[in-house]
Structure formats: structure tokens, C-alpha cells
């Protein structure tokens, strides 16, 4: 009887002892399950569940303790503890925490079942955290599907709203197709290298498999680029994103734009750098073209939007284009810049989405006209939104500036001048559509003076996002060290 490689010689006792490294994910999953179980008992008074969900995420932060400083592959090589996973897991939990804080007013207003919402956000967070912390293709796929399937349901949570339904079906059909394409690429990589572990795949490829099976490997790479392209919202795989984000409930759009996209980048770093590092010139060139197309098309199309929610969807496509520069450069500096940018993007983008959530839970729509006079009706929100926009454009001393600066200098360093110039030009273009909103807020008369309200929980979530944008920018130095340390461990 041959030993089965999946379980290998791993001792069950060791396996159970190693579950401690999975503590954050376990806590999140258990919290989600508890919320599902108790929400029917609350008979519609589901508002307090926000505290259960937030407590779960905070406990999960504490659960990271044993994993910090750990190194190597644990749990039958399904989970990897290294700088990258140590970096990404808290980033994704921070994103989830902010989204949970921003949601309760919106959920109450639009009569979304809060229990289901929080549970699905928590499950999706488990999925994206697993995607970022594994070298195993199977685990990567399972994490991706856990996050994606939760996302399909979340997008359709306004059940009687035809636009939410449409967002859900578009996200589902394109998302499932993207997963299938990605999976086909993964199956080819497994066939070429005989392994599903990215480190072993890297060894097999450097050991000669890359030369022997070159055409098959290039084909597999194209499938992987396309599959990840769908999940990252990269042009030309972005067609569903504006529709999905516009129709989905606003907190869901916010969550998808930072969580799922961020996880796709994290997983892409692992697959391409760790696994397919040997054919780096091939995929890096493709990513360079994708980055240029994504940021340019995202920004130019965003200029044409009247609906701010749709504009933010195009803006997040453009931001994905900037992050892709990191993969196009594919040096250690490029990857660490990418990590920093994902962190900055998480807080600044959630801060901008928060203003949209604020308007819609006050019964406004998300057209540009609804922002008129917001500077007088809700000065704090208006200034915070302006600040997040400055960060998204890349103006100092915000987090976005340092992120762009790092990506820019990494591109120049690697000799990709044209891409660096394209980034700068695109930042200028993006000024146009953000300015439209800012002008409406501060220079136009409000249609009504009716005051806008928000609960303290919303305020906390918003503050967390805006403060994060400020602190990650002002105190950038420790975060630089963090991302540089995170990237060293990449082989």
C-alpha cells in the first residue's frame, strides 16, 4: 500500500497541534456559523449582530498571535506561514472589520437580513485569507471559491431589487467562468510538474520541466493570467465589474473591490513568483500590457460616469491597473510596493465607499447630483471623502501617494519607464473625475437641507478607514519595513 502524498507521514497529533496556526480562520468561520444559527431567533432585531461579527474579527486578530514569526508549511503543507501571509491576513481582516462597521445602517434601511450578510462577509474573509496563505493549488482554489461563492450571494442580497439580482447573476456567470479558466491553467501546471505545491512546482520547472514542456507551460500561463485577470478586474476581463458593483448593495461592492481583488493579487504573487518564477519574462510582459490597459481604460471610462457608484467601480479597475505594475516589474521592490499598495488601497478605497454607503443609508441615491452641497450638510464626511480621493489620486502625505511612489520607482528601477510615465499620466486623468465629486460637494447648493445621520458604529468604521489612510501615509516607514520583510521570504 503506497503512502498517500496528501496526508504523507504527517502525524495526526502534530496536525491537531498545528491547528493553532489556523486560529484566525477558525474563529471567523465559527463566528459566522454562530451568527447564522442565532439570527433566526432574533426575529428581525438583527442589529446587535454587528457587535458579534466585529468581536469575531477582533478575536481573529488576537488569534494571529501564534502564527507571527512562524515559518514554513504547516497542516500537511496546506497553510504557509511566511512574511507574505503574515502581512496579508491582518490586512484582509482589517478590510472585513471596516466593512462590518460601515454596514448596519445600510442593512437596516434596505431591509437586508443582517445575520446572513455578516456571516457571508466572514466566510468570504476566511476564503481570501486562505488564498493569500497557501502554497497548495488545491487550497488556493478552495479559498477562491469560498470567497467567490459568498460574493455571488452577497451581491444579490437586495432580493427584490432587480439591479441587485442582475449584479448577482453577472458576478456569478463571469466569476464561475473565470474560476474554470484559472482551474484549467492549474491542471496544466500540475500535469507539467507533477505537483500541486508551488514551491515544488518552482523546483520542477527550474529542474528542466520548463524547457521540456515550454509550449504547454506558456499555454498554462495564459490560462492563469486570464483566470486571475477576471478576479483582479483587469482589462479586458473587467466587463462585469461596473455592472456588478453598481447593482450590488454598496457595502458589498466595497467589500468585493478590496477583499476579492486584494486576494487575487496575493494569490497571483504566489503562483507567478513562487511557482512560475523561471518564465518571469514571459508573464511579466503580459502583466505590463494588462497594467497599462487596465489603468488607462478604468480612468478614462470613469471620467464619463454620472453615477458615482459606477465611477467608483471604474476607479477600482484603474487602481487594479496600478497594482498590476508590481507584477509587471516582478522584482522584490515591485512586489513589496504591490503589498504596500494593497494595504493602502484597502483603507483608502473603503473610506471612499463609506461616503457612498452614508448617502444611501440616508435614502439618497448615488448620482453625482446627490453629492451637491454635502460639504454643508455633512462637512466631516465630505472632508473625509476628499481626503480619501486625494489618497486615491496619489497626493502626499496620504497612503496612496507612498504606494504610487513605491510602484513608480520600482518600475523605473526595472527599466519600465513607459509604464511609470503611464502611471503618472493616469493619476492626472483620475484628478478629473474625483474633482467632479469634490466640486459638487463644496461648490454646489444642496437640493435640500435635511440633515444626514449615521450611527456611532458607522462612524467607527469610517474613522478606522480614514485614520488608516492618514497613518499608513504619515507613518510610512514601519510599513515599508513590514512589506520589505514580507517579500524577503519569497524565493
Partner 1 sequence: MIPLSWVLVSAALLFGLGLYGALARTNAVRILIAIELMLNAVNLNLVGFSRYLSPHDVTGQVFALFVITVAAAEAAVGLAIILMIVRQRDVSDVDRINLLKW
Q: What is the DSSP string of 427-478?
A: HHHHHHHHHHHHHHHHHS--S--------HHHHHHHHHHHHHHHHHHHTHHH
- Tell me how far apart the alpha carbons of residues 340 and 333 are, in angstroms, rounded to a whole number: 11
User: How many CA atoms lie within 13 Å of 217's alpha carbon, on the beta-carbon side?
Assistant: 24
- Residue 9: all three cell numbers together: 507521514
Identity of the residue, 284 or 297, whose beta carbon is nearer to partner 1 in the bound complex: 297
Q: Closer to partner 1 at the Cβ: 145 or 444?
A: 145
CA-wise closest residue to 250 among 110, 387, 125, 379: 110
CA distance 466 to 471: 9
Residue 271's alpha-carbon distances to 121, 251, 277, 279, 288, in angstroms, are: 25, 29, 9, 12, 17
In which residue are the cell numbers 486560529 written? 23
Radius of gyration of the chain (CA): 22
Minimum Å gap between C-beta 316 and partner 1 is 15
- Identify which of 320, 341, 482, 462 has the alpha carbon closest to the alpha carbon of residue 398: 341
Q: Which residues of this protein are in contact with partner 1, per CB under 8 A?
A: 2, 4-6, 137-138, 141-142, 145, 149, 152-153, 156, 159-160, 162-163, 165-170, 172-173, 176-177, 179-181, 183-184, 186-188, 190-191, 194-196, 242-243, 246-247, 301, 310
Orientation of helix 83-102 relative to helix 456-474, angle to 10°: 150
CA gap 96, 48 in Å, rounded? 17
Give me the least distance between CB of 317 and partner 1, in Å please: 12
For partner 1, the closer CB: 86 or 193: 193
Cβ distance to partner 1 smaller for residue 6 or 467: 6
Residue 370 CB, shortest distance to partner 1, in Å, is: 18
The answer to whether 86 touches 67, Cβ cutoff 8 Å, is: yes
Q: Which is nearer to partner 1, 177 or 412 (CB)?
A: 177
Nearest distance in Å: CB 213, partner 1: 12
**Nearest distance in Å: CB 158, partner 1:** 11
Using the minimum distance from each CB to partner 1, give the nearer residue, 55 or 306: 306
Nearest distance in Å: CB 137, partner 1: 8
Identify the three-state secondary structure at position 238. coil
Q: 270 vs 309, which CB is nearer to partner 1?
A: 309
Nearer to partner 1, 166 or 367 (CB): 166
In the complex with partner 1, which residue's Cβ is closer, 188 or 388?
Answer: 188
Q: How far apart are CA 88 and CA 213, in angstroms?
A: 33
In the bound state with partner 1, the residue whose beta carbon lies nearer, of 2 and 456, is: 2
Minimum distance from residue 57 beta carbon to partner 1 (Å): 24
For residue 73, give the 3-state DSSP assignment. Answer: strand
Q: For the CB of residue 234, give the shortest distance to partner 1 in the complex, in Å.
A: 18
Work out how close the CB of 10 gets to partner 1 at its nearest, in angstroms, rounded to a whole number.
15
Q: Report CA 215 to chain centroid distance, whole Å.
A: 32
* Cα angle 263, 269, 274; round to 5: 135
The three cell numbers of residue 365 are 441615491
Smallest distance, Å, CB 368 to partner 1?
A: 16
Amino acid at each position: 500500500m503506497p503512502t498517500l502524498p496528501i496526508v504523507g507521514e504527517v502525524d495526526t497529533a502534530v496536525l491537531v497541534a498545528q491547528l493553532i496556526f489556523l486560529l484566525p480562520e477558525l474563529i471567523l468561520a465559527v463566528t459566522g456559523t454562530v451568527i447564522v444559527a442565532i439570527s433566526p431567533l432574533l426575529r428581525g432585531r438583527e442589529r446587535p449582530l454587528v457587535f458579534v461579527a466585529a468581536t469575531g474579527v477582533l478575536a481573529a486578530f488576537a488569534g494571529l498571535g501564534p502564527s507571527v514569526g512562524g515559518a514554513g508549511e504547516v497542516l500537511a503543507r496546506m497553510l504557509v506561514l511566511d512574511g507574505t501571509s503574515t502581512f496579508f491576513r491582518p490586512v484582509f481582516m482589517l478590510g472585513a472589520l471596516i466593512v462590518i462597521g460601515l454596514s448596519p445602517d445600510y442593512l437596516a434601511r434596505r431591509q437586508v437580513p443582517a445575520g446572513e450578510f455578516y456571516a457571508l462577509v466572514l466566510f468570504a474573509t476566511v476564503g481570501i485569507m486562505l488564498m493569500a496563505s497557501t502554497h497548495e493549488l488545491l487550497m488556493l482554489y478552495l479559498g477562491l471559491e469560498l470567497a467567490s461563492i459568498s460574493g455571488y450571494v452577497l451581491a444579490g442580497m437586495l432580493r427584490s431589487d432587480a439591479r441587485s439580482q442582475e449584479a448577482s447573476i453577472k458576478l456569478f456567470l463571469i466569476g464561475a467562468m473565470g474560476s474554470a479558466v484559472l482551474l484549467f491553467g492549474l491542471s496544466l501546471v500540475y500535469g507539467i510538474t507533477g505537483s500541486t505545491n508551488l514551491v515544488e512546482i518552482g523546483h520542477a520547472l527550474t529542474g528542466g520541466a520548463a524547457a521540456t514542456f515550454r509550449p504547454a507551460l506558456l499555454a498554462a500561463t495564459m490560462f492563469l493570467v486570464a483566470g486571475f485577470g477576471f478576479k483582479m478586474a483587469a482589462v479586458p476581463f473587467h466587463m462585469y465589474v461596473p455592472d456588478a458593483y453598481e447593482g450590488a448593495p454598496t457595502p458589498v461592492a466595497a467589500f468585493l473591490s478590496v477583499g476579492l481583488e486584494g486576494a487575487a493579487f496575493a494569490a497571483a504573487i504566489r503562483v507567478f513568483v513562487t511557482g512560475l518564477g523561471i518564465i518571469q519574462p514571459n508573464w511579466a510582459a503580459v502583466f505590463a500590457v494588462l497594467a497599462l490597459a487596465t489603468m488607462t481604460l478604468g480612468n478614462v471610462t470613469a471620467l464619463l460616469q454620472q453615477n458615482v457608484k459606477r465611477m467608483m467601480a471604474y476607479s477600482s479597475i484603474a487602481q487594479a491597473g496600478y497594482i498590476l505594475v508590481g507584477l509587471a516589474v516582478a522584482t522584490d521592490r515591485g512586489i513589496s510596493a504591490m503589498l504596500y499598495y494593497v494595504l493602502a488601497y484597502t483603507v483608502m478605497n473603503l473610506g471612499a465607499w463609506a461616503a457612498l454607503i452614508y448617502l444611501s443609508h440616508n435614502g439618497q441615491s448615488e448620482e453625482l447630483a446627490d453629492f451637491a452641497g454635502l460639504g454643508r450638510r455633512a462637512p466631516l464626511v465630505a472632508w473625509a471623502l476628499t481626503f480619501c480621493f486625494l489618497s486615491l489620486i496619489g497626493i502626499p502625505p496620504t497612503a496612496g501617494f507612498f504606494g504610487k511612489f513605491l510602484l513608480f520607482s520600482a518600475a523605473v528601477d526595472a527599466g519600465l519607464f513607459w509604464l511609470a510615465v503611464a502611471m503618472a499620466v493616469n493619476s492626472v486623468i483620475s484628478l478629473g473625475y474625483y474633482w467632479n465629486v469634490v466640486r459638487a460637494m463644496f461648490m454646489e447648493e444642496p437640493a435640500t437641507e435635511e440633515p444626514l445621520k449615521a450611527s456611532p458604529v458607522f462612524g467607527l468604521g469610517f474613522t478606522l478607514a480614514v485614520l488608516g489612510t492618514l497613518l499608513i501615509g504619515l507613518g510610512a516607514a514601519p510599513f515599508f519595513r513590514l512589506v520589505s520583510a514580507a517579500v524577503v521570504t519569497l524565493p
